[in-house]
Structure 1
Amino acid sequence: VMLTGVGSAFIDQPLYGLPTAKTDEFLANGLGAKYAASLENLIVVSMGTGTSFVKVEGQQIQHIGGIGVGGGTLLGLSRLLLKTQDIHLIAEMARKGTLTNIDLQIQDICNKPLPDLPLDATASNFGKADGNASPEDIASGIIHMVLQSIGQAAILSALNSPIRDFVLIGNLTQLPQCKEIFPKLEEMYGVRFLIPKYSEYRTAIGAALTYMDGAPIHPIK
């Protein structure tokens, strides 16, 4: 049994009577995403409670940082503003919302596209919101702010490298809005975002791969 992630710190004995070991979460992220994408060079964007970035260059896997924006942000703001933390309800509300009632776009402040920025690019998340915004509009604004922030931070994390492939993993990849937001970022910045099959389980798959690949593990006895 292979364990990883912050929750593994609470396990101090073997599970199910089987040999049990722990491995580094960032290593598991890298191996799980690399295996899914069949790429040698990529940045793994692990969208959990917050978001971490792991650079993969061949056999070298390195955690390069992260941001405190993620699923925790989405749920916390939804509890405050929408009085719910049901992610399925929030996503459905957002689907019915109108983002332009919440976000200030380039076309709201300029009548011509800016270099590399189309008129419908976001100038300010929630910059247009007022007291008359509907819950559906707010839900749309929250999800777009979180996913856009993650995507743009990922792109910035690769500025000093030739990497242009980003593999998205974690539960937030299941949001239907990912299919709208990340392709728009691809077009604007000339990068590629991939959401592999079983993206929400890629860290667990990577933990298994650490054992199979002979990577460092820490047995629990």
Structure 2
Amino acid sequence: MQRITAGIDAGGSLIKMVYQENGRMHYKKFPISELDSALSWLRMSAPSLKVSLTGGKASVIQKKYFQDSVIYPEFKATCEGVRFLLSIENKGLEENYLIVNIGTGTSWHVVKGDKAERILGSGIGGGTFTGLGSLLAQGQDYHQLTDLAIMGNKSNVDMLVKDIYESAETPINGDLTAANFAKGKKLYHTEADRLASLSNMIAETIVLLTSQAAALHQVKNAVIIGSAIVDNPSLKSGLDFYMDMMGLSTVFLEKGEYCGAIGASLSV
């Protein structure tokens, strides 16, 4: 019988699975609301499965579905998954770097050689985008929200530096944000404009925290991962733009949302 191993990362919004069959990795993800059906499917598909769990709901899954599984530390799994993907995607970094994991919230890790440490966390992340976004756009789902964000114009909602200086020369880029959502009651704006503003606010906040962490730990490279940037071109482009402005080199991993699950699977 062939040996199948799996890593399962159960977070606040999504459950991500990576299972290896004959040395080949397969990737699956489901909303956390579909936890029971997803794990039932996995158990039926591979009865002899060897499982390693990580994430906030790992202990719940272990008790209900995989009593013989092991629970792997979440932050360690994430960093090991990043190292693995950097290698197989040929994006190896010779210098020390930050990992910025944008899931429901956002976590920062610093990697120096063989050592990795979580250094910062924020409640601003993908959960902010979907939760606040659904209030700003009357309950749209994730893909509708991301579509709206890319079509909107944040300057109809945000006060920009050039709005303050008007005809005078601005001391910094006039298109930068002076105050998020400051025009909320003053101008007509669409749902798309509000989503563009929200996406921009999240990107700015994450990059500002990243730049401070990079300066503190003397690194110039950041690997950005997490489910919040998947199929979200507005947020991804905003992150890329502001990171470049801050003089930081950015790496996006193709399967970055699965880093936790990958790291867990490698421990089996």
Confirm or deny a common fold (TM above 0.5): yes
Q: Alpha-carbon deviations, 1:130-149, whole Å to 9, x = none?
A: 26221111111111112221
The residue that corresponds to 2:258 in the other structure is 201
Cα shift at 1:9: 2.2
The residue that corresponds to 1:47 in the other structure is 102
2:202 corresponds to 1:153: no
2:85 corresponds to 1:36: yes
User: If the length of structure 2 is used for normalisation, what is the TM-score?
Assistant: 0.71
Give me the whole-angstrom Cα distance separating, in 1, the residues matched to 2:85 and 2:169.
41
Alignment of 1:1-221 (within 5 A): 1-13=51-63, 19-37=68-86, 38-39=92-93, 40-110=95-165, 111-114=168-171, 117-130=172-185, 132-174=188-230, 175-209=232-266, 211=267
Q: Alpha-carbon deviations, 1:162-220, whole Å to 9, x = none?
A: 211111111112111134212321332100121111111111112223x17xxxxxxxx
Q: Share of identical aligned residues, percent?
A: 31
Give me the whole-angstrom Cα distance separating, in 2, the residues matched to 1:14 and 1:139.
38
The residue that corresponds to 2:32 in the other structure is none
Query: Residues 43 and 56 of structure 1 are in contact (CA less than 8 Å); yes or no, is this contact kept in structure 2?
Result: yes
Structure 1: stretches of 5+ with no match in the other structure = 213-221
Give me the whole-angstrom Cα distance separating, in 2, the residues matched to 1:16 and 1:126.
46
Query: Residues 47 and 168 of structure 1 are in contact (CA less than 8 Å); yes or no, is this contact kept in structure 2?
Result: yes
Task: Classify 1:10/1:85 alpha carbon distance in 2 versus 1 (closer, same or farther; 3 Å).
Answer: farther
Give me the whole-angstrom Cα distance separating, in 2, the residues matched to 1:51 and 1:181.
16
Give me the whole-angstrom Cα distance separating, in 2, the residues matched to 1:24 and 1:44.
16
User: If the length of structure 1 is used for normalisation, what is the TM-score?
Assistant: 0.85
Query: Residues 165 and 193 of structure 1 are in contact (CA less than 8 Å); yes or no, is this contact kept in structure 2?
Result: yes
Give the strand-richer structure, 1 or 2: 2
Query: Across the two proteins, how many residue pairs are aligned to each other?
Result: 208
The residue that corresponds to 1:217 in the other structure is none
Cα shift at 1:15: 5.0
Partner SS, residue 201 of structure 1: helix
Greater relative contact order structure (CA < 8 Å, 6+ sep): 1
Moved more, 41-50 or 178-187: 178-187
Partner AA of 2:107 in structure 1: S
Give me the whole-angstrom Cα distance separating, in 2, the residues matched to 1:3 and 1:45.
21
Give me the whole-angstrom Cα distance separating, in 2, the residues matched to 1:20 and 1:14.
11
Q: Alpha-carbon deviations, 1:32-70, whole Å to 9, x = none?
A: 123323225211111111111111111111111211111
Query: Residues 14 and 20 of structure 1 are in contact (CA less than 8 Å); yes or no, is this contact kept in structure 2?
Result: no
Give me the whole-angstrom Cα distance separating, in 2, the residues matched to 1:59 and 1:52.
19
Partner AA of 2:252 in structure 1: I
Moved more, 142-151 or 21-30: 142-151
Partner AA of 1:163 in structure 2: V
Partner SS, residue 160 of structure 1: helix
Give me the whole-angstrom Cα distance separating, in 2, the residues matched to 1:60 and 1:130.
49
